Amino acid sequence: MQFIIVTGVSGSGKSSAIDVLEDMGYYCIDNMPPELITKFTEICNQSKGKLDKVAFVADIRGGDFFMKLTDIVEQLRSEQINMKILFLDSADDVIIRRYKETRRKHPLDEQSYGNIRKAIETEREMLVPIKSKADYYIDTSASSVAEFKERMYSIFLDQEEDYLRIDVRSFGFKYGTLSEGDLVFDVRCLPNPFYVPELKEKTGLDHEVSDYVMQFDDAKLLLEKLSDLVDFLIPLYKKEGKAQLVIAFGCTGGKHRSVTFAEQMAAHLKEEGFKVRVSHRDISKR
């Protein structure tokens, strides 16, 4: 049986996540009091396979009940229940814009006297314990509906108990850091193809750019050392039961050096036998 708890910051897309999970055959329950999750898992165990994929949304709408969620998760995991946590997040300004568009009130609106920034800040503090227990983390700040669905499918379709999902991504620091990254590497220390006229409009997906970046001894040595580090860390992450690992490379604009290194690292990990998903957040931005 598979159980998923969907939680995270209000306005980050939990309703959309539940829609996707329903499409994947999960029985979904919104705004579930944590203490009832234990009871429902017992019902599922007695259903003889009728309810084998269940997703709960639990968040601060549950008030004081929500504060018991971390304890409930630890209890269920101690009982060998296959319970995964999906934590959704988004930038404050994006959340504020979404609330303005929908004209809905934040769940902590009254406690924050109508100050939505204060409400978001308070909520983030309340979410720290459960965020630290999360198996999957998705930042929806810059995701389209299609991109979000793709991320959900890549995580939850064809799950294997001991399967570590590895995402390798590139990004540009000028557009903000990648908050989802478990391992974030800055490759701005390398020569920038942007200043080579014939390479400026190309990307790290073009062999001319990747060849330029990787021609330097410093780049080759950096890739070698980072590959050794990642090879060392992956077994440790797996030993701790981590289900998703996001490795990110950042350069100035997210088009050349970071893309090259993301592709090189992905190729290395595929050679090691891992299933890897590669994405380039800012490659099409100008």
Q: Is residue 217 part of a domain?
A: yes
Give the domain-ending residue among 156, 185, 218. 156
In this prediction, residue 103 has a pLDDT band, given cuts at 50, 70 and 90, of: confident
- For residue 59, the enclosing domain spans 2-156
pLDDT, tens digit, 9 for 90 and up, residues 206-239: 999 999 999 999 999 999 999 999 999 999 988 7
Structure confidence at residue 155 as a pLDDT band (50, 70, 90): confident
* Model confidence pLDDT, tens digit, residues 20-33: 999 888 999 998 88
Q: Which residues of 77-107 are buried (b: 16+ CB within 10 A; e: fewer)?
A: eeeebebbbbbbbbbeebbbebbeeeeeebb
**23-60, pLDDT tens digit by residue?**
888 999 998 888 899 888 888 888 776 788 999 999 99
Q: What is the pLDDT of residue 273?
A: 87
For residues 145 and 256, membership in a common domain is answered with no
CA–CA distance, 147 with 283 (Å, rounded to integer): 15
DSSP 105: P
Specify if 29 maps to a domain. yes
Domain count of the fold of the chain? 2
pLDDT, mean over the chain: 91
Residue type, 223: L
Give residue 159's pLDDT.
53
Query: pLDDT value at position 162?
Result: 47
Find the largest Cα–Cα distance for the chain. Answer: 67
- Lowest mean pLDDT segment, chosen from 147-151, 160-164, 256-260, 280-284: 160-164
- Picking from 156, 175, 199, the residue at the C-terminal end of a domain is 156
Q: Are residues 9 and 148 in the same domain?
A: yes
Task: Quickly tell me which residue has 């989802």 as its tokens.
Answer: 180
Q: Which two tokens stand for residue 203?
A: 């990307």
Question: Which of 112, 137, 156 is where one domain is finished?
Answer: 156
**Is pLDDT at 261 greater than 60 in this prediction?**
yes
Across the range 111-135, mean pLDDT stands at 93
Predicted pLDDT at 271: 93
Asked if 71 and 121 sit in the same domain, the reply is yes
Average the pLDDT over 191-199 and give the result. 96
Give the pTM: 0.68
Q: Are residues 140 and 191 in the same domain?
A: no
